[in-house]
């Protein structure tokens, strides 16, 4: 009779790294709180065929028949970092692209992700979209 095959796993501990999706969901919840829930944040996650997780951050206007604006997407593999994200330059583009190819950013830590999100959420474009939606919501009620 063959010997029992041993369990080779060590003690399994959950990673202490805060996953990017948790940080995004926190920001989504904060948008609802900041706007008295006239606008909500939503994070949708999918996987691509190459084992990457893609998280998209939406601004939702529940009273405008759940109108949604897809603000940005970030992605990462099974390891939560590095995170790939559109460069701030790309996010700030007007209605046509610049003449320089734009490489995605590689975000290597939770701190870098927080800095990135702060910049995106405070950007002129985000403020324009959120402000305009808030105005429409208030005009419609």
User: Is there binding between residue 109 and another protein (CB under 8 A)?
Assistant: no
Stretch that binds another protein, among 3-11, 16-24, 60-68, 111-119 (CB under 8 A): 60-68
Stretch that binds another protein, among 17-25, 34-42, 98-106, 112-120 (CB under 8 A): 98-106
The terminus-to-terminus CA distance of the chain in angstroms comes to: 77
How many Cβ atoms are within 10 Å of 102's Cβ, its own excluded?
14
How many Cβ atoms are within 10 Å of 83's Cβ, its own excluded?
25
User: Is there binding between residue 65 and another protein (CB under 8 A)?
Assistant: yes
128/114 Cα distance (integer angstroms): 21
Q: List residues binding another protein (CB under 8 A).
A: 46, 48-49, 54, 56, 65-71, 73, 91, 93-97, 100-102, 129, 132-133
């Amino acid at each position: 009779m063959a010997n029992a095959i041993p369990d080779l796993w060590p003690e399994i501990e959950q990673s202490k790294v805060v996953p990017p999706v948790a940080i995004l969901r926190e920001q989504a919840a904060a948008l609802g709180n900041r706007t008295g829930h006239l606008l909500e944040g939503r994070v949708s996650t999918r996987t691509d065929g190459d084992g990457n997780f893609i998280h998209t951050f939406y601004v939702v206007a529940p009273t405008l028949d759940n109108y949604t604006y897809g603000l940005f997407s970030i992605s990462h593999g099974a390891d939560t970092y590095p995170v790939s994200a559109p460069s701030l330059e790309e996010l700030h583009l007007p209605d046509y692209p610049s003449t320089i190819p734009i490489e995605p950013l590689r975000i290597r830590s939770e701190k870098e992700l927080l800095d990135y999100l702060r910049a995106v959420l405070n950007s002129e474009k985000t403020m324009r979209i959120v402000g305009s939606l808030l105005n429409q919501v208030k005009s419609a009620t």
